[in-house]
Amino acid sequence: MAPDDAAEARQTMPLLLCLSGGGFRGYYSALVLAAVEEAVGAPCNRIFDLIAGTSIGGILALGLAHGVPARTLADMIREHGPAIFPRYPLPGLRRAFGPPYRGGRVGDAVKRILPAQANLSLSAAPTPVMVVSVSPATARLVVLSSWDGGATALMSTADAAMATSAAPTYFPSHRASLGSGGTSMDLVDGGIAANAPDALAIREATFSLGLPEERLAILSVGTCAPAQGGVGTLTPAAFGLVGTLRHLGGRGLVDLMMAVQEAHGLTEARARLGGDRYLRLDRAPSGAQAKLLQLDNASEQARRTLEDLARQTQAGLRDHHSHGVWRRMVARAQFVRR
């Protein structure tokens, strides 16, 4: 696509990709995106004008913005997920003495997924990308973006990936460096403020990138989150010995916050764009499946469950071919293949 054609497409049919958080459940998101890339015949970074993500969705967004195929990202999550989320005996007791997982494991995985890009600044991404984080010191949401003029554009891709995925009570906060000036800040997972970045992406696309909101369209991809975020155990009866161990450190409360924020963000985005400009790909797990799909469960059984759910979503993609968002994606893919 010629530069003039690309600019015209951005203004006449701008497309956003929004990826929710969900820990290892992001494996589902990557598998679905691989099916989408195959179906439309073009990589995500050639189809979308902005790629936004939170937590594992943020890591996927960074990879996709650099042109990494979604299939490669899925393979990497499958390979490195068990190392990021190792299984421990008495996990509730371990959590009582601090986050049970090491943030360095995420950093190692990011460097394997993006060996050539991990140390590059966000501004080096060929496609505009934003990931969501939170500053505990200021109690403010922080959007880490790649575009010129953004205060975080000089942050490294690896720092941004670790900052957006440092879920409280699961991982320690991440101290991220803001470029070469020596300034840094502690950041945690943006899921506690915007687990679905959709509404934020609309704001940034409009005010920072100058895309017309009345023409925006979004493909939003979920992570098979259990109904009500899978936090039904937060009841008085849950706080016996086992329940107390499970919720030590506030894990259940963090899960609840993420679920509520995601529901709010999705509702707002749908309301602002309307049905034909907003398409959400997700799959609700059964009750038995939901018990497996905690965000830190990277077991073989959880992996197979996510693969089954992704296959079901892939089989249903044909049902969306008449949707306005899908038609835009196909049209954009035809543009880039010229």
Is there a catalytic annotation at residue 133?
no
Closest CA to 27 of 213, 219, 305: 305
Q: Which of 55, 146, 156, 173 is catalytic?
A: 55
DSSP assigned state of 227? G
For tokens 């598998």, the residue is 31
Which residue type does 265 have?
A: G
**Contact indicator for 201, 52 with CB cutoff of 8 Å:** yes
Closest CA to 76 of 126, 127, 41, 118: 118
Closest CA to 278 of 320, 334, 333: 320
Helices H, strands E: what count in the chain? 15, 8
Instruction: Dig out the tokens for 46 from the structure.
Output: 């050639």
> How far apart are alpha carbons 227 and 142 in whole angstroms?
27
Is there a catalytic annotation at residue 55?
yes
**Contact indicator for 329, 40 with CB cutoff of 8 Å:** yes
> How far apart are alpha carbons 103 and 311 in whole angstroms?
31
Q: Which of 189, 255, 282, 296 is catalytic?
A: 189
> For residue 287, how far is the Cα from the chain centroid?
24
Return the ∠ at Cα 134 (arms to 49 and 148), rounded to 5°.
40
**Contact indicator for 17, 219 with CB cutoff of 8 Å:** yes
What are the catalytic residues?
55, 189
